[in-house]
Structure 1
């Protein structure tokens, strides 16, 4: 459960409470930093006695004191219970996220509370952006507490040590000398290229999640694409091609190596009745370009987000048609950076599948579609109906990646499994169309991945059908498990296996 901009109530005049710009502000009045002056906000429902919970608060505490206590509160008798102590010190007045794990001692607690006693000095109080509460195994929390009832140890919750936060992940990329050297090498060969280091992919995805790419390139010409691929191959650097990020979930750890966006290849042209579109062009705009020219081919795509290249890559479609229906050929760069042309019959097609998915290092440059003359008014009516149906059925007002699972009956199975509206962190299964998972409050990719996996398990438990994601997970999780290396490339075991070397 996430409480964005939580609504606080003051129990006395020792506090003043206000809300604005997506955040709550609680301020201690002059002389109000005394025992018994409290502010609180309600959880959606009472907490379970003996239940284990993790509370995460995104806030800016301001105090001259060294620490601030976080509490649970019972509205019936106004008693409260300390669940954690937060060290403030020199970070007073700065944005931060604090996490505490606790076990509910008894029934009746249903509020989060702050006490004025801990907020002293000038402008004392707190600005709270959100409070997140999730259940965790109580047994793990209990096992981790010491004899004095201390906080649980991270290892008891199976959290890998030194798991970096968002800021640390970005800094690790920016401060990596190999990344900086590769950047200099690329710009020495392609000086006109737009190239970023450590840019978060959440700025380039439709669902607004994703950690930093080591290097993010925005080429504008086929020649730049070719030179980038050649450089990546020469330097043994992994590379990944993305369009507008409409059907991917980039994990919070980001993407190592080089990410290439196709947005610069956005040309439309007509040649002898055939429609040729650059891979980075909008798929929706492609359908309207054909409408303006009175040509039928992609009118069913008037509501599908993403790029032409992405649509070809996954054989995008609706219950009316798909890319395969009118495509003639695809021009692409192969894994050696050579320009190739694949005819329709050279490509294996399937439900949201093409040959290109088996060759992630191929880069689609443009696609050629067959067209037929059509009446503009009739085309316009079809496209308008398509857009209206999508707007009425799908939660287009919230960030999302489109349909999450491949089977058209997946939304029905999700709903029958009792998951409609279910939420983990900042991600919710849409109440409008359960096949869509929407970002409702600063979600992370981990939120998305957890909810997708949970949904697969629940649907399987309910129906025996194993859902397969249509959305693609790419990149790394924030944590890394232990990595092992040897002192030299050849180990003693390898020497014994191969014998003496000449």
Structure 2
């Protein structure tokens, strides 16, 4: 039962009715293509709306959760209670000299390619990362020896009390798949990147090289959340999984990819419970064989399906 339907009246004072969905299946909003319904899903059109919406949720004691592109997210089959705030319409970008100011919902891949068009280098590594800017800064996303911490200058966030803060690079406390944003539950509104002038042809060539490598090595033909596990100190998760003879292992519609064992993929009609069970199997097998405890990189939220 959706206990927060009455909250819709208050949301409609802030958000256009067409941007409010009730009992919305989260499988429509995650790259894994799994997940039960959320009570209310809202898609603000600008930063002012998202700030007012968060403050209203705080005042009314309504739980809320922020998602961007849903590319690093696993929602359980029972769905999510409260309000999901999707930032996809917050995608404006401004370039001034070597600084790029971007709203949190813009896709990292799009920002990388747009900065390249302006002859700015530094974000080539991000051209194939499917997440949003907000999620990328929250998790300090990285690939191919590059990461957000190398190019971010500052971020504007809203905290759990509804206050707007501007955080410097140091205050973001960016580490391997972590940040002060993640630790304190901040919501990213805008991010400022400090890039460098470069040669467009060289920048574009690097983007094309990384795109080719990604297509060749990653199972992009199937729904997934990218790398399922964090890199353990001194090891590579994919190699540990492959050396544990887990490549191709499956539970229901979930499978350890035959193309890249660091990915758990949805081969078709997988449930979140299939993916979660496969994650546990991988963790247990690697732990027993190598004494290494793999930690999920994908963020897991929501409730179990009470029906089964």
- Pair 1:463 & 2:293 matched: no
| 1:331 aligned counterpart, secondary structure | strand
Structure 2 stretches lacking a partner, 5+ long = none
Q: Which has the higher helix share?
A: 2
Greater relative CO, 1 or 2 (CA 8 Å, sep 6+) = 2
Residue 299 (structure 2) aligns with? 472
Kept in 2: contact 1:327–1:369 (CA 8 A): yes
- Give the match for residue 11 of structure 2: 186
Structure 1 length normalisation: TM-score? 0.59
Please say if residues 210 and 444 of structure 1, whose CA atoms lie closer than 8 Å, have aligned partners that are also in contact: yes
1:386 is the counterpart of 2:210: yes
Q: In the alignment, which residue of structure 2 is the partner of 1:258?
A: 83
| Partner residue of 2:221 out of 384, 394, 397 | 397
**Aligned equivalents of 1:319, 1:354: Cα separation in 2:** 20
- Equivalents in 2 of 1:230, 1:478: separation in Å? 30
In structure 2, the residue corresponding to 1:198 is in which secondary structure? strand
Cα displacement string for residues 73-125 of structure 1 (whole angstroms, at most 9, x for unaligned residues): xxxxxxxxxxxxxxxxxxxxxxxxxxxxxxxxxxxxxxxxxxxxxxxxxxxxx
Q: Which runs of structure 1 show a deviation greater than 6 angstroms over 4 or more consecutive aligned residues?
A: none
User: Aligned Cα RMSD in Å?
Assistant: 1.5
1:296 to 121, 133, 140: 121
- One of 366, 375, 379 as aligned partner of 2:190: 366
Q: Tell me which of 276, 279, 287 is aligned to 2:101.
A: 276
1:452-499 deviations in Å (ceiling 9; x for gaps)? 01110011111111111111110111129xxxxxxxxxxxxxxxxxxx
Other structure's SS at 2:143 match = coil
CA distance in 2, matches of 1:474, 1:385: 35
Q: What is the CA-CA distance between 1:273 and the residue it aligns to?
A: 2.2
How far off is 1:366 after superposition? 1.1
Q: For the Cα contact (< 8 Å) 1:193–1:217, is it kept in 2?
A: no
Compute the displacement of 1:413 (Å): 0.6
Q: Secondary structure at the match of 2:4?
A: helix
Query: Is contact 2:153–2:193 with CA below 8 Å preserved after alignment?
Result: yes
* Cα 1:193–1:355 shift into 2, 3 Å: farther
Which residue in the other structure is 1:450 paired with?
277
**Other-structure match for 2:58:** 233
Q: Aligned ranges for residues 95-114 of structure 1 at < 5 Å?
A: none
Which structure has the greater CA radius of gyration? 1
- Specify the alignment match of 2:252 in structure 1: 425
Q: Is the 8 A contact 2:134 2:188 kept in 1?
A: yes
- Consecutive unaligned residues of structure 1, counting only runs of 5 or more, are 1-171, 481-502
**Aligned counterpart in structure 1 of residue 24 of structure 2, from 181, 196, 199:** 199
User: Contact between 1:287 and 1:302, CA under 8 Å: does it hold in 2?
Assistant: yes
Out of 169, 172, 184, the residue aligned to residue 344 of structure 1 is: 169
Larger mean Cα displacement after TM superposition, 261-270 or 329-338: 329-338
Q: How much does 1:188 deviate?
A: 3.5
Q: How does 1:12-411 map to 2 (within 5 A)?
A: 172-173=1-2, 178-191=3-16, 194-360=19-185, 362-407=186-231, 409-411=236-238
CA distance change for structure 1 residues 254 and 345 in 2, over 3 Å: closer, same or farther? same
Aligned in 2, Cα 1:191/1:267: closer, same or farther, shift over 3 Å?
closer
TM-score, reference length from structure 2: 0.96
Quick check: 1:266–1:278 contact (8 Å CA) kept in 2? Answer: yes
Query: 2:253, 2:266 within 8 Å by CA — same for their partners in 1?
Result: yes
Q: Which has the higher strand share?
A: 1
1:318/1:191 CA distance change after superposition, 3 Å: closer
Q: Over residues 143-180 of structure 1, what are the superposed CA-to-partner deviations in whole Å (9 max), with x where a residue is unaligned?
A: xxxxxxxxxxxxxxxxxxxxxxxxxxxxx33xxxx322
